[in-house]
Amino acid sequence: MAFTPKKVAYRGAINAVTLGTGDKAIVIGGQNVLPFYTFDAPIENAPKIGVEISDCAGEWTAPALKEFYAGCTTMADYAKKAETMPGADFLCLHFESADPNGKNRSVAECVADAKAVAEAVTMPIVIMGCKNIEKDGELFSKIAEALQGKNILVLSARSEDYKTVGASVALAYGQKVGAETADDINLAKQLNIMLKGLTVAPTSIVMNVGTAAVGYGYEYVASTLDRVRLAALAQSDADLQMPIIAPVSTDTWGVKEATASEEDEPAWGNAEDRGVSMEVSTAAANLTGGADAVIMRHPAAVAAIKQFITELV
Amino acid sequence: MALKGLDIFKLSPKKNCKECGSPTCMAFCMKVAQGAVAIDKCPYFSDDAKAMLNEQTAPPMKTITVGDGLKLGGETVMFRHEKTLVNKNLFAVPVCTKMSADEVDTKLADMAKVDYERIGERMYVEFVYVKSAGDDADATLELVKKAMATGRALVLDIKDVEIAKAAVELCKDGKPILNGATPDNWEAMNAVATAAGVTLGVSAGNISDLYDLVKKLEGAGNKNLVLDVTADTAKETLANAVQVRRTALVDGDRSFGYPSIVRVAKLAKGNKMLQIALASMFTERYASIIVMEQMDYAAALPLYGLRQNIYTDPQKPMKVEAKIYPLNGADENSPCALTVDFALTYFLVSGELERSNQPVNLIISDASGMSVLTAWAAGKFSSSSIKKTFETLDIENKIKNRTLIIPGKVAVMKGEIQEKLPGWNVVVGPTEAVQLPKYMKDKEYEAAAKAAAAEAAAKAATTVEVKELSFDELLATKVPAIEVVDMGVKYGGYNPESSTFVTIGERIHCISPVIRKAMDERDPAPILKRAAEQIAAGATYLDVNIGPAEKDGPERMMWAVKLLQENFNNVPLALDTANKKAIEAGIKVYNRTNGKPIVNSADAGSRISNIDLAAANDAIVIALCSADGIAKDNEERMKHCHNMLERGLSLGMEATDLWFDPLFLVVKGMQDKQMDVLNAIKMFADEGLKSTGGLSNNSNGAPKKVRPIMDSALVAMAMMQGLTSAIVNPCDLRLMETIKSCDIFKNHTLYSDSYLGDRPDLL
């Protein structure tokens, strides 16, 4: 009796969400199986890779990364260069310097940067804030307004500010909005319900359900991804069927494995290799768990994950 | 552990006749499952049932032990949130007969360089994967010898039967895996493996052939197998790994219930970063052994970190090691800060301390992985446990500075710690970690340390040796006289013979600052107020939590018991503290008119001796069905239940004086375990046992308006299952109405239109 493996295809499916416009527009989500389970059913849209560009990118130290962006000074320079990175599908503009407890750059300056980037590139744009609720609220609204028609994704609305961010980004300016929660499936569902309550369309929502570098409490991320995906597919829970985006680079490039110099940790070898491997491993783990898009930084890491996705889809 | 006690119980006669020597059928079945008793001891098990049991006894996935005790497989679930993943994936690095001797030496030497510890776990490459090209017997044997010399376990990838035989002969004592069986050679290769008693690796061109091959090997009597699921592409390999696991665990087909080998080295084709990506995926998705081309630190740091996270037991809190963590270049002259070993607390506190840039020794005290307040309330973070940490770690001699900053949330312990650690200047730090950078930078602790030193010196000058007083002496000298105050509420009395639901009011608890202060100051008013509210709302028992009360527990408890009973018609009480002497003292002054005192609580772990305490004092005891952390399933819950039941019975207790607590779990986070808890209650009830528990824990963190609704629904379901009591907030009107209504439906009380009491609003 020949063995034939059973197929498991679910009634529920992940929403397909389009980001950007024109030829370079991308679609994330759409599948009705677990990540890379092509043996159950084909994957509608391969996961996508976003390249992080920060307004603090000048402070990055990894040699090959610096070399890649050699000569870039403005955010638009970086963005144009990032578009040429093999494996890149979209760009993520990270406005770290807006933080009032840091450099406190003005909203006007950040908006000007975003506009300059939008004029210089054709790839879809994702906006990441500075984590300060008040500043982000203003920043997100102004950028969403300035980039109207570009179909950008703004990261993120949180339980503290979903009303203002959801209303301005998604409702007033027709952009896509991220729903950010920290490793808690119940909160993730709650936030989606609240956004829908504001009349934000489910297909305008992308989730960030929590991030961590591998080794740093990643078990919470892994189980949240598993549970969110199983709820969306097996239970057909429409409040959790939004595609998932995982900002990877901001976590991985800050942990000791990536930052410790070779003098401090002689046994560990080349620091840049460690930074890349932490980013690669964390991105692969996220994609395996349920992320439909990852945000990464280093060209070598992006190339490896692009290859990884190509091999599996 | 092949057999599950609960499965056996389903087939048991359920007579509870005790002829087998066990108190109940359930207890007997649990013993059979553990192999402690033969099933023949029961005269009533049918032959059919016995035969069926034998068939059902095998676990869905085998645990294979190789090398020096390395365990593979044994998994029971597809996802880590469902239960615990059992055996972490292991790593291998390959050497091959096609490599030169120098290449082999270099490779093995490089492999050995990665060997370090991370949160208490050794991180290294567990296996050398020895690959024979197939026509090179001598070279293969040389290679095996070199691999053996590393001291690591071996996987032999040898498809030639003769070479395999010689190689296995060399290394069989080290319990290698012979990854050699294919559809072409399986009979002969199987003979080699079984003769030498080693685990056989199985591979085939596709998953159907692999399945057929396993069937043949099983038919030949070999179930000591691992499956090499590596295909030509990563895509097909993932398909194999998932389908093998799914077939075994979801479909229950044990022919695929074996550990898997995935050779990512083959799939990555020399692309080092791709290899790390694939290894990350197979760590999450079902490889038992991952073969990497090489393991350097760039690969090891993320992969071992990921593995440690994925294989963390979700039922147990992540604990960090109790020790001194010198931060920001701290040395023996730097001040000390103290907190608990809960990993999240540690990461938060150490992060904020690092941000202060001030040298400080962070001392982590053993607190069973609980957060500060929870550990304090449970008596796991007390002056005694802190003293023990100081002794174990020899901090007295390792650190010269004598400033000790304690968490602001346990400011109440300052005096006790000061007493237990003479010579140290105990300072109360901030209540939240985020306040630490400022606190450290401003050196706020310096003045406080000086004040503490002065205070200690003054005290030392006046202290006289105090002898320990007997309970009677304490009562006479340390317990303030009780004044009876008319609170306008009278406790109506309770008949312990009645089968109505017992509510234990939870509102006199030291985690509440108001109650804590009142207990400290022996101020009756706030305690009487809460007692009156609960009694008016219909509580049967009142819980009295006096906190860990290490210092003055006995007089505290005696005072609280007398205060409540003398004011409220001898209301029955549950005595709730980690201090045993305090419970004993409380029972000494306890009046039993309205029922026995309840000891809150014992468990099947470190607190099991509270059952002895209850037995010696003819008290009821709340028996938590847990030992080290929450029980992972009902198998474990019932095991704990029976351990405690037998202990109680052997000490002469009535079974009904042990009230078993399944531990209600919070819906937010443990939604999928709720039915387990409810089913456990049914099992208690089926054995005639009583049950109780902190029911409202289910709705912790839910909105205030929703909690009564959830609690009411759960209590109704739990009462249907046979719950006989609960520790609740009796002032929750909806909950109390539900309980009274359920008692009507259960025919425990007689219906009348006014069964809810004097409620004109409802009539």
The answer to whether B530 touches B515, Cβ cutoff 8 Å, is yes
CA torsion A266-A272-A276-A281 (nearest 10°) is 10
The confidence score (pLDDT) of residue B58 equals 66
Confidence of residue B118 (pLDDT cuts 50, 70, 90): confident
Q: Enumerate residues 63 to 102 of chain A having a beta carbon within 8 A of any beta carbon in chain B.
A: none
Residue A283 contacts B, CB cutoff 8 Å: yes
Residues in Cβ contact with B262 at an 8 Å cutoff, skipping those fewer than 6 apart: B229, B230, B237, B241, B282, B287, B289, B290, B291
More confident residue, A78 or B419: A78
Give the residue on A whose Cα is nearest the Cα of B264.
A308
Residue B601: asked if its preceding bond is cis (omega within 30°), the reply is yes
Looking at the predicted structure, is the pLDDT value of residue A1 above 70? no
| Close Cβ partners of A217 (under 8 Å, ≥ 6 residues apart) | A183, B309, B318, B343, B344, B347
Q: Beta strand A125-128 with B90-96: parallel, antiparallel or unpaired?
A: unpaired
Are the beta carbons of B302 and A277 separated by less than 8 Å?
yes
Spatial distance between the Cα atoms of A87 and A307, rounded to a whole number of angstroms? 8
- In whole angstroms, what is the distance from residue A107 CA to residue A123 CA? 23
Q: Do A311 and B310 touch (CB under 8 A)?
A: no
Q: pLDDT band at B317, cuts 50/70/90?
A: low
Give per-residue pLDDT as tens, B139-148.
999 999 999 9
Structure tokens at B467: 């002898």
B255 to chain A: nearest residue by CA? Answer: A3
B534: left (phi over 0), alpha (psi -120 to 50) or beta: alpha
Residue B2 clears pLDDT 60, i.e. is over it: no
CB B647 within 8 A of CB B608: yes
Q: Supply the pLDDT for residue B56.
A: 62
Mean pLDDT score, B458-468:
68
From CA A243, how far away is CA A47, in angstroms rounded? 10
Q: Which long-range contacts (CB under 8 A, 24 or more apart) does B469-472 make?
A: B471/B554, B471/B558, B471/B584, B471/B585, B471/B588
Q: ∠ CA(A61), CA(A65), CA(A67), 5° rounding? A: 100
Lookup: tokens for B744: 């009507």
Residues in chain A with CB shorter than 8 Å from the CB of B318 are: 217
Alpha-carbon gap, residue A84 to B140, rounded angstroms: 48
Q: Do B277 and A278 touch (CB under 8 A)?
A: no
Cβ contact (<8 Å) for B668 and A186?
yes
Distance CA B760, CA B755 (A): 12
Q: What is the pLDDT of residue B465?
A: 56
Strands (E), B506-585: 541-545, 573-576
B750-759 tens-digit pLDDT: 898 889 987 8
User: B301 contacts in A (CB within 8 Å)?
Assistant: 215, 257, 268, 274, 277-278
Q: Output the pLDDT for position B6.
A: 75
pLDDT for B194-209, tens place per residue?
Answer: 999 999 999 999 999 9
Categorize the per-residue pLDDT at B319 as very low, low, confident or very high, splitting at 50, 70 and 90.
confident
Average pLDDT over residues B293-311: 97
Does A311 sit within 8 Å of B233, measured CB to CB? yes
| ipTM (interface predicted TM) | 0.98
CA B162 – CA B132 distance, rounded (Å): 12
pLDDT at res. B477: 86
3-state secondary structure of B118: strand
Mean residue pLDDT across chain B: 91
CA angle B447, B453, B458 (to 5 degrees): 130
What is the predicted pLDDT for the residue at B1?
Answer: 35
B362's enclosing H/E stretch is strand B360-365
Q: What pTM did the predictor assign?
A: 0.82
- CATH number for the domain formed by residue range(s) A17-312: 3.20.20.20
Taking only the tens place, the pLDDT of each residue in B238-256 is: 999 999 999 999 998 999 9
Residue of B nearest to A257 (CA): B301
Span B278-298, pLDDT tens digits: 999 999 999 999 999 999 999
Selection from A131, A179, A140, A139 nearest residue A159 by Cα: A179
Using 50, 70 and 90 to split pLDDT, how confident is the model at B457?
confident
Give the start-end residues of each E strand in B110-191.
115-118, 121-124, 127-131, 153-157, 177-181
How distant is the alpha carbon of residue B140 from its chain centre?
46
Of all residues in chain A, the percent with pLDDT exceeding 70 is: 100
pLDDT of residue B316: 66
Rounded to the nearest angstrom, the gap between the alpha carbon of residue B488 and the centroid of all alpha carbons in its chain is 45
Q: Give the helix/strand (H/E) hosting B302.
A: helix B297-310
Report the gap between the CA of A72 and the closest CA in chain B (Å). 27
Q: Is A254 on the interface with B (CB under 8 A)?
A: no
Rounded CA-CA distance B9/B686 in Å is 11
HEC states along chain A?
Answer: CCCCCCCCCCCCCCCCEEECCHHHCEEECCCCCCCCCCCCCCCCCCCEEEEEEECCHHHCCCHHHHHHCCCCCCHHHHHHHHHCCCCCCEEEEECHHHCCCCCCCCHHHHHHHHHHHHHHCCCCEEEECCCCHHHHHHHHHHHHHHCCCCCCEEEEECCCCHHHHHHHHHHHCCCEEEEECCCCHHHHHHHHHHHHHCCCCHHHEEEECCCCCCCCCHHHHHHHHHHHHHHHHCCCCHHHCCCEEEECHHHHCCCHHHHCCCCCCHHHCCHHHHHHHHHHHHHHHHHHHCCCEEEECCHHHHHHHHHHHHHHC
CA angle A125, A128, A129 (to 5 degrees): 140
Using N-to-C axis directions, what is the helix angle for B297-310 and A271-289, rounded to 10°?
30
Residue B283 structure tokens: 């760590």
Tell me whether residues B273 and A301 touch, CB distance under 8 A. yes
Kindly state the tokens that stand for B599.
């000891």
* pLDDT at position A89: 98
- Label residue B78 by pLDDT band (50, 70, 90): very high
Contact A304, B300 (CB under 8 A): no
Per-residue pLDDT tens for B158-190? 999 999 999 999 999 999 999 999 999 999 999
State yes or no: pLDDT of B605 exceeds 80: yes
> Which residues of chain A from 192 to 211 reach within 8 Å of chain B, CB to CB?
none
Residue B345: HSE in the Cβ half-sphere, 13 Å Cα cutoff: 30
Burial state string for B679-690 with b = 16 or more CB within 10 A and e = fewer than 16: ebbbbbbbbebb
pLDDT digit string, tens, across residues B340-359: 998 778 877 887 888 788 99
* Residue-range domain boundaries for chain A: 17-312
Look at residue B673 and give its three-state secondary structure.
helix
More confident residue, A261 or B723: B723
Q: CB neighbours of A209 closer than 8 A, spacing ≥ 6?
A: A181, A183, A185, A188, A221, A224, A225, A228, A244
Q: Give dist(CA A42, CA A22) in Å, integer.
A: 25
A281 touches chain B (CB under 8 A): yes
Neighbouring residues of A81: CB distance < 8 A, sequence distance ≥ 6: A68, A69, A72
pLDDT at B313: 80
Do the bridges between strand B620-624 and strand B598-603 make them parallel or antiparallel, or are there none, so unpaired? Answer: parallel
Contact call for B211 and A3, based on CB within 8 A: yes
How far is it, in rounded angstroms, from Cα B316 to Cα B321?
15
pLDDT at residue B444, rounded to an integer: 86
Contact B557, B551 (CB under 8 A): no
Phi-psi region of B305 (alpha: psi -120 to 50; beta: other; left: phi over 0): alpha
Alpha carbon B645 to chain centroid distance? Answer: 21
Distance from the first to the final alpha carbon of chain B: 59
Nearest to B383 by CA among B432, B426, B411, B418: B418
Is pLDDT above 60 for B309? yes
- For chain B, domains (ranges, CATH) are 5-56 (1.10.15.40), 63-310 (3.20.20.20), 324-462 (3.40.50.11600), 500-595 (3.20.20.20)
**What mean pLDDT is predicted for residues A68-79?**
97
Q: How far is B235 from chain A (nearest CA, A)?
A: 5
Q: At what angle do helices B513-521 and B524-536 cross, to 10 degrees?
A: 130
Distance from CA of A231 to the nearest CA of B (A): 12
Nearest alpha carbon to residue A188 among A178, A176, A200: A178
Could you read off the pLDDT of B29-75 as tens digits, one per residue? 877 776 677 788 888 888 877 777 766 666 789 999 999 999 999 99
Nearest chain B residue (CA) to A224: B81
Interface contact B273-A289, CB threshold 8 A: no
Is the pLDDT reported for residue B361 higher than 90?
A: yes
Per-residue three-class SS string for B492-510? CCCCCCCCCCEEEECCCCC
DSSP state at residue B627: B
Cis peptide before A156, with omega less than 30 degrees from 0?
A: yes
Average pLDDT over residues B412-438: 88
Q: CA A175 to CA A156: how far, in whole Å?
A: 12
Average pLDDT over residues B563-591: 95
State the virtual CA torsion across A181, A186, A187, A189 in degrees, nearest 10: 90
Segment A29-62, tens digit of pLDDT = 999 999 999 999 999 999 999 999 999 999 999 9
pLDDT at A69 over 70: yes
Answer whether B480's CB lies under 8 Å from B560's CB: no
Per the prediction, chain A carries an average pLDDT of 95
How far is residue B681's CA from residue B662's CA, in Å, rounded to a whole number?
A: 7
Helices A218-233 + A185-197 axis angle, to 10: 50
Say what the pLDDT of residue B476 is.
86
Residue B594 has pLDDT above 90, yes or no: yes
Span B566-583, mean pLDDT? Answer: 95
